[in-house]
Structure 1
Amino acid sequence: MLSELLQGTDTGAVLIIQDSCSYSGQHLLKSFISAALNKEEAVHVLGFDVSEEELKDGLTASTQRLHFHSAYTDPLGWTNRTAFTVHQFCVEELTHLLKQTSHPKPVTLVIDSLSWILRHVSPPAVCKTLQQLKKGGAVRAVIGLLHADMHQRGTVGSVCHLATSVITVAPGTKGDEAVAKITKRSKSGKVMQDEEIFSIKGDFSVTVVSKTSHAGHRQTEPEEHQTDPTANLTFNIRLSDTEREAKEKLALPFVFSKEKKTALLQSGPGSGRILYEPDANDDYDQEDPDDDLDV
């Protein structure tokens, strides 16, 4: 599945690369940038963690379609000299920023550190912007790097729940290998999961070493042995066939047969009626029959 994501993400996709201090996802992020440039796509990068020179270092693909908006030296805009700050992370500012360069097709937006933004912008505002970018059509896809161990679990869960694909990277057993746990949600709502061991070469191409698919498969748990709670009772709570048949034929006292209903409802000779004639002392109001009641 990692190779499929590198070959191309769907329009309106939000892909989150989730890393930690034990393994950095910067190299895998550059692999996605390199793959997009090789497909002749335009890529806009919001740079927080690394400088433009460090990001472009090692990229063999043409970087003419790579536009770097630096927030590396002054992410909070204290000197007013940076091309981008965390406070500009909203759909209006991003749309204006992307329109400064003309491209015939929607571009891919890469955020090299969502953690920088989440530390200074509220998580609901960040999720709202990602959702607007996802549906607004200003970008074809959004790829973001999130340092999961820098945030609370609820914040990470909110951002990852919004994403269409989440890649969680961790170190592998060998020095040049890493483990990617991938969760992908299709438009139909189906969730697919993969766990792959991969390695990244010097040109940032990705090689999948081994793959264990979990999509659509669940391990069947052995059925627990259930004891019979009625095994040691001193009385029998089950009915035999004869007892069950007699129970079904038994007429219940509150169930009237058709003949009994007819007999009860039909008035015969000697049946009485109750007649009421109000006298002069009765305070009876036709408009409000219950007027004499204290209610």
Structure 2
Amino acid sequence: MLLELIQGTEGGGLIIIQDSINYSGRHLLMSFINAALKRDEVVHLLAFELHEEDLKHELDHSCFQRLTFHNAFQDPLGWNEQPPFTVHQFITKELDSLLTPTHLSKPVTLVIDSFSWILRHLSPPSVCKTLQRLKKGGAVKTTLGLLHSDMHHRNMVGSICHLATSVVTLVPGHQCHEAVAKTIRRAKSGTISQAEERFSFNEDMSVKVQSQPIQVGAPQTDAGDAEVDPTANLTFNLRLSHQERKAKEKLALPFVFSKEKKSALLHSGPGSGRILYEPDANDDYDQEDPDDDLDI
């Protein structure tokens, strides 16, 4: 599933890479950028944490020439005059004007190297509104971003990831050169696919998957683990023997009537009880006007 996302066979959308202090997602972000440039896509990078010189060393030189770099690293808050790009320009109107001059015949991939930088200086509703409009399409086919999940409250992370088409959560692997990608993919039909994959990087920053995807949620049991009986050490017995079960089946329940009992109740015999009412002298009952005692 991870390779399908990198190769762009999943149809774009909003892709979020979640990393933490335990494992950085920067190299995986570079792999996504390299793959998009090799597909001859137009790539715009909003760089808040990456310097342009660092990118030249990590990306292929021929690919880097076709990358549109928007320098938000130099003056992210716009303190100087005429900054290249600031965090306050992360709104739909500014992004549309930024991406309009691109070739309309080619798909556009917008890469944000740090959603965390934006969330630290803009309100979450504003960021979610912009991402939702980018997700709907227009000039941008794919929006890709890196989110440092341990820098924010989990509710904020959940709100951003709820908008995403795909979420890739990175954790370190058992070996130093490996990592584990936990991918959640939401299809247009509403179905959700989940998988875990061990991967590593080649020298050209391409991704090499080390193992087949493991479907998340599938029960995994070890052969040496014995099944524990929770009723083994109880002081009373919860099970019935064969004779006890037969006796229970023969027992008549108190509210279940037999045919004989139903017939006796429905058809009254000579000795059945009746209620007789004899009016008293104080009753003052008038047969011609039964409602005489009512003040009408």
**Structure 1 length as normaliser, TM-score?**
0.74
CA distance in 1, matches of 2:84, 2:36: 23
Indicate whether 1:225 and 2:228 are aligned: yes
Two-structure CA RMSD over aligned residues (Å): 3.7
**What does 1:78-97 align with in structure 2 at a 5 Å threshold?**
78-79=79-80, 81-97=82-98
TM-superposed deviation, 1:71 = 1.9
Shift of 1:66: 2.6
Equivalent-residue separation in structure 2 for 1:231 and 1:115 (angstroms): 54
**1:166 offset after TM fit, Å?**
0.8
Q: Distance in 1 between matches of 2:276 and 2:137?
A: 78
C-alpha distance in structure 1 between counterparts of 2:228 and 2:25, whole Å: 46
1:272 maps to what in 2?
274
Q: Is the 8 A contact 1:23 1:171 kept in 2?
A: no
Give me the whole-angstrom Cα distance separating, in 1, the residues matched to 2:247 and 2:23: 73
The aligned residue for residue 257 of structure 1 is 258
Does residue 112 (structure 1) correspond to residue 113 (structure 2)? The answer is yes
Aligned to 1:293: none
Partner of 2:8: 8
CA distance in 2, matches of 1:194, 1:229: 39
Query: Which residue is 1:49 aligned to?
Result: 49
* 2:236 is equivalent to residue 195 of structure 1: no
Structure 2 CA distance for aligned equivalents of residues 23 and 250 of structure 1: 66
Equivalent-residue separation in structure 2 for 1:105 and 1:134 (angstroms): 17
Q: Counterpart of 2:210 in 1: which secondary structure?
A: strand
Q: CA deviation at 1:262?
A: 3.3
> The residue matched to 1:190 in structure 2 has which SS?
strand
How many residue pairs were aligned? 278
1:252 counterpart letter in structure 2: L
Residue 168 of structure 1: aligned partner: 170
Equivalent residue number for residue 72 of structure 1: 73
Structure 2 unaligned segments of length 5 or more: list them: 286-290
TM-score, with length taken from structure 2: 0.74
Alpha-carbon distance between aligned partners in 1 of 2:234 and 2:169, rounded to the nearest angstrom:
52
CA distance in 2, matches of 1:131, 1:34: 25
Distance 2:13 2:42 in 1: 16
Amino acid at match of 2:220: Q
Q: What one-letter code is carried by the residue in structure 1 that aligns with 2:85?
A: F
Do the aligned residues in 2 keep the contact of 1:43 with 1:107 (CA within 8 Å)? yes
Distance in 2 (alpha carbons) for counterparts of 1:171 and 1:237: 46
Percentage identity across paired residues of the two chains: 51
SS at match of 1:104: coil
Change (3 A) 1:206 1:12: closer
**Counterpart in 2 of 1:290?**
none
| 8 Å Cα contact 2:178/2:198 also seen in 1 | no
CA distance in 2, matches of 1:237, 1:9: 56
